[in-house]
Structure 1
């Protein structure tokens, strides 16, 4: 009897599949080859930054760009190696087949080369998923991994589910099995992108990873809830929401310039507090908001404090500067 992952197709999931398909159809018409090549480099950097940042890598998009350009970057050697490996893996992206287990092992070997001893091989020991000091998932025993992965690839090869659903199901099942000693998160996200790119090549250039990074607490919560329910529907719904937001905001015309600070400007309609800004951006993590959004906007002179001499004041608010207004005018008002 062939393996069938447990998942329920809810109305919410069907609606998101329809909306994503509609937006992707419009983007396919709008994106010419020259623009696609230009976006590919920019969005690949954003994708690599998002995926590695979820795993704790601290390098910025500008540092990743420098590494891509062959420049020297002063940073922890392991983090530089992670970026080089990710760049090498994405260079091979178009050659891999989603249903080929050997391709997944090859991708892991490239992605984790020089980082772990078992690069390109399934783990030989137990492994768990940690959230800080808390164990949130204990993966199946190592002796079951090969069979479980074989079953999963067997299902994917014949699955008749829409790729948006099949990709999310594979991603969840992969994370549940946690087949490698390390690198499972980035591999799961990479393989979902590969499944989607075989449906529509635009997904090779759409940085869903960046949005997952901004909502990583929800990402882990969706994984946990799916495990609790023995049904990957919560994770499917979460991933489709991330994909829908990404494809809706990453239009060919604006994708190169929509940095986090520009997104901040787009919601800053008046004088607003940090909490109001975070809510408008649908962000929960205060430290990520501060480092990725607020500080870059302040340092670039796009935003200013209403009480600059008391930066920690409980009454502190933020507003656009003249420079910030000019930037938003260039973006058509946001």
Structure 2
């Protein structure tokens, strides 16, 4: 495939440099312990943001509940979309950006139970609507396999910067609109996949939540790029979103842990009651144990209740969180 049409504006070059600087600062700040909880939170934000752009009504709290296997009261289609997205992101690291088969597999997971033939290119015409108005009529269905093959071949051969190629791919993917439905979430997913192969930290930055917050600008950038026959406006928009996500979602520094909390984390194995923990640590004073050990560890999110809905239960036990395990 010949190179898709795009211009390298001064804004694009500046944004690429600033994103590189932000990633460098992120690497210097990031520690395993602080990143584990942040990654889970950002994955939830990513799913919620990408689905919300397509009209899904679920909140971050509801998606968290679905992820934890808890019941949620919401439209069945919204719940199905969330479950599909969770499954897709669980397999995210296995996919290759240049693989057509992986792209079709991803679509099959994202749209399972929502389309009759997920994982297959569309067989009919499709347009992008803005209310009653058609803002883009996609190429005929019989051209989709060729166009997608050419686009993936270009992606595998280009030596342009991944920040630029991922944005160009995203725009061209939306222009082709290869599937009957799910093109928006697939385009955003695949841009994140391309970026994550360049820098793994970008797999955990919730760019989609910012795109959702600037949804009108997202569609405006797509339309302007189509009008100009040059994807530069869309590249600029996506790079701004990536930079904003990096700047607003830098991980917190590793929490300060007192010697008492450190001892508690070392002693805690599986689920243990207060009495068991005090005995393990050879501590007699219940009040001192609660104030100097338990409460600080709970407040810092290092341990959690086994019965969070009944904090004063006589059967209450404590266990390590992901963050606590990382510090153990």
User: Counterpart in 2 of 1:74?
Assistant: 73
The two structures have a TM-score, normalised by structure 2, of 0.76
Question: In 2, Cα distance between the equivalents of 1:132 and 1:174?
Answer: 22
Deviation for aligned residue 1:117? 1.0
Return the alpha-carbon distance in structure 2 between the equivalents of residues 73 and 113 of structure 1: 19
The equivalent residue for 1:147 is: 146
Q: What residue is the counterpart of 2:101 in the other structure? A: 102
| SS of corresponding position for 1:135 | strand
Matches within 5 A, 1:4-153: 4-153=3-152
Instruction: Deviation per CA, 1:34-91: give whole Å up to 9, x if none.
Output: 2222111100000000000000000100000000000000111110000000000000
Q: Which residue of 2 aligns with 1:286?
A: none
Q: How does 1:157-172 map to 2 (within 5 A)?
A: 157-172=156-171
Q: Deviations over 1:284-329 (max 9, x none)?
A: xxxxxxxxxxxxxxxxxxxxxxxxxxxxxxxxxxxxxxxxxxxxxx
Shift of 1:159: 1.0
What are the ranges of 5 or more consecutive residues in structure 1 without an aligned counterpart?
255-334
Aligned to 1:280: none
| Cα deviations by residue, 1:110-144 (Å, 9 ceiling, x for unpaired) | 00000001200000000010111111000000000
The count of corresponding residues between Structure 1 and Structure 2 is: 253
Counterpart CA distance in 1 for 2:144 and 2:172 is 12
Task: Give the unaligned 5+ runs of structure 2.
Answer: 254-328
Q: Tell me what 2:282 maps to.
A: none
Paired residues of 1:3 and 1:154 also in contact (CA < 8 A): no
How far did residue 204 of structure 1 move? 1.0
The separation in 2 between residues aligned to 1:10 and 1:45, in whole angstroms, is 33
Residue 224 (str. 1) matches residue 223 (str. 2): yes
Give distance in 2, aligned partners of 1:36 and 1:161. 30
Which is greater in Rg? 2
Q: Secondary structure at the match of 1:137?
A: strand
Deviation at 1:182, TM superposition (A): 0.2
Distance in 1 between the 2:114 and 2:237 partners?
30
Q: TM-score normalised to the size of structure 1?
A: 0.75
Partners of 2:61 and 2:106 in 1: CA distance: 25
CA deviations 1:154-203 (Å, max 9, x no partner) are 00001111110000000000000000000000000000000111111111
Deviations 1:15-45 (A, max 9, x none): 0000001101110121122222211110000
CA RMSD across the alignment: 0.9
Quick one: distance in 2 between partners of 1:222 and 1:109? 28
Runs ≥4 in structure 1, deviation > 4 angstroms?
A: none
